[in-house]
């Protein structure tokens, strides 16, 4: 699971027309399965959009973590991890525009099979709405 813990937008207006919005997000991954797994890659992308796409384009997503990272189940450690991330996007939230964070997590199961999950999260000041992706 990839979900923002909090977001406090910071909007800036550049001298050369470079209006941006930056947010602070804590990405949380947890294992909701019945066996341990190894996270191989986490990527995320922050955008300000008019509408949520059916399938987000993650080709330019930031690499948040690359390399094998164990994640346990139940009370096994570590069963959840948190990563602070501070992305910026062009534009500002406003009428007809929303902030969204897209993500993808690639992981291996105990049989060494590669899986991926890619929820997308719409961020609204202090709140997050998770859409199935």
pLDDT digit string, tens, across residues 48-62: 889 888 888 888 899
| For residues 66-87, average pLDDT | 81
* Domain residue limits at 104: 3-131
The model's confidence at residue 130, banded by pLDDT at 50, 70 and 90, is very low
C-alpha–C-alpha distance, residues 39 and 36, integer Å: 10
The residue among 120 and 20 whose pLDDT is bigger is 20
Identify the pLDDT of residue 38: 93
Q: Is the pLDDT of residue 111 over 90?
A: yes
C-alpha–C-alpha distance, residues 125 and 58, integer Å: 23
Query: What CATH number is associated with residue 48?
Result: 2.60.40
The per-residue pLDDT of the chain, averaged, comes to 77
Tokens of 40: 């191989």
Identify the pLDDT of residue 131: 42
Max avg pLDDT among 10-14, 25-29, 37-41, 80-84: 37-41
Domain count, the chain: 1
Q: Is the pLDDT of residue 5 over 50?
A: no
Name which of 42, 54, 80, 63 is nearest 132 in CA terms: 54
């Amino acid at each position: 699971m990839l979900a923002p813990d909090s977001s406090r937008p910071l909007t800036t207006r550049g001298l050369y027309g470079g209006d941006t919005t930056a947010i602070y997000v804590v990405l949380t991954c947890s294992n909701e399965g019945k066996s341990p797994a190894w996270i191989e890659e986490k990527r995320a992308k922050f955008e300000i959009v008019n509408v949520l796409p059916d399938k987000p384009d993650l080709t330019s997503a930031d690499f948040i973590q690359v390399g094998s990272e164990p994640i346990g189940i139940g009370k096994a450690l570590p069963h959840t991890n948190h990563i602070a991330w501070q992305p910026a996007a062009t534009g500002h939230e406003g009428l007809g525009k929303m902030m969204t964070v897209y993500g993808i997590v690639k992981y291996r199961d105990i049989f060494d099979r590669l899986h991926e999950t890619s929820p997308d999260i719409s961020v609204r000041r202090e709140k997050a709405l998770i859409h199935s992706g």
